[in-house]
Amino acid sequence: MKAKTGIRNIKSLIFKGIVVFFAFAVTIPLIIVLLYIIKQGVTQVNWHFLTNVPAPPGETGGGISNALTGSFIMVLMASVVAIPIGIFAGIYLSENPRTKLAYYSGLCVDILQGVPSIVVGIVVYFWIVKPLGTFSAIAGSIALAIMMLPIIIRSTEQTLKLLPDSLKEAALSLGVPYHRVILKVIIPCGFAGILSGITLSIARVIGETAPLLFTALGNNYFSLKITGQMESLPHVIFTYATSPYDDWHDLAWGASFILLVFVLTLNIVTKVITRKWKIQL
């Protein structure tokens, strides 16, 4: 018996070691990418880099202020559109799971989540850019909003499904109207999961290049005009990285580092907020 127990313990240790090894192995590519981007990009970042527009080819210096501003504006406009629609759609799917509308809506959400970003860009190009005859930040934000919707809807739906029915039943039994139960009880209790979905959606679209190539296109100058072309961080990285100039390659690494810092900061802040708001049920 002791021999068999010893063999089982050895097997258990071996399998635990294998699991730990592969769990660590999956983080190695991420660590390598992070360290390489930090090494290449951190030396390029300074105040001049953040507050100036790109310099003409052949001239030293230049910055990405137009891209930073453009990305912020387009992601903000996309969030204004996608977040409320996504949250309310997720609430409907969680509250009415057995209706035909919920079934087909959920099916459409799943299909939309698998649509490649470049296809979204092409569709928005024919919907908005071509009829209006111009690339614009509005078209870019609509493309980003479409990509944000499935993530927000599904995260909201799955979060609210995890809440016990007793929460809603207790509020309704006190005579609270249904809409106030949703707004004052259900959504606050599921705030952590909903916010995580919003963060994931923003983190996904902030680095998308393909849809912006067909919609916002880009702008070498600083512009706040949402009805015209507007620059973005992913487009700047694509343009600089594929250029034949070494100084533009350095700027591409700097822009990549800024984008990386933004995404990491967004995730860290979300973790802190969700931990504070999380309710133990």
Which pLDDT belongs to residue 277? Answer: 61
Determine contact, residues 212/120, Cβ cutoff 8 Å. no
Query: Quick count: other Cβ atoms within 10 Å of Cβ 96?
Result: 13
Angle (CA) 188 194 197, round 5°: 170
Which pLDDT belongs to residue 280? Answer: 42
Q: What are the DSSP calls for 56-86, one per residue?
A: PTT-S----HHHHHHHHHHHHHHHHHHHHHH
Can you give the pTM of this predicted structure?
0.86
Instruction: Give the whole-angstrom CA distance, residue 248 versus residue 227.
Output: 28
Q: What is the pLDDT along the chain (281 residues), one digit of tens a residue?
A: 566 777 788 888 888 889 888 888 888 988 898 899 898 888 888 888 888 888 777 677 778 889 999 999 999 999 999 999 999 999 999 988 888 998 999 899 999 988 999 999 999 999 999 999 899 999 999 999 999 999 999 989 988 888 888 888 888 888 888 888 888 888 888 888 888 889 889 988 998 888 999 999 888 888 889 999 999 999 999 988 888 888 888 889 999 999 999 888 888 877 777 776 654 43
Q: What are the DSSP calls for the chain, one per residue?
A: -HHHHHHHHHHHHHHHHHHHHHHHHTTHHHHHHHHHHHHHHGGG-SHHHHHSPPPPTT-S----HHHHHHHHHHHHHHHHHHHHHHHHHHHHHHH-TTSHHHHHHHHHHHHHHTS-HHHHHHHHIIIIIHHHTS--HHHHHHHHHHHHHHHHHHHHHHHHHTS-HHHHHHHHHTT--HHHHIIIIIHHHTHHHHHHHHHHHHHHHTT--HHHHTTT---SS----TTS----HHHHHHHHHTSS-HHHHHHHHHHHHHHHHHHHHHHHHHHHHHHHH----
Which pLDDT belongs to residue 248? Answer: 85
Query: Quick count: other Cβ atoms within 10 Å of Cβ 48?
Result: 11
Q: Compute the residue count for the chain.
A: 281
Which pLDDT belongs to residue 126? Answer: 94
Angle (CA) 163 169 172, round 5°: 125
Structure tokens at 199: 């963060």
Determine contact, residues 134/228, Cβ cutoff 8 Å. yes
Mark 212-239 as b/e (b = at least 16 C-beta within 10 Å): bbbbbbbbbeebeebeebbbbbbbbbbb
Instruction: Give the whole-angstrom CA distance, residue 229 versus residue 21.
Output: 48
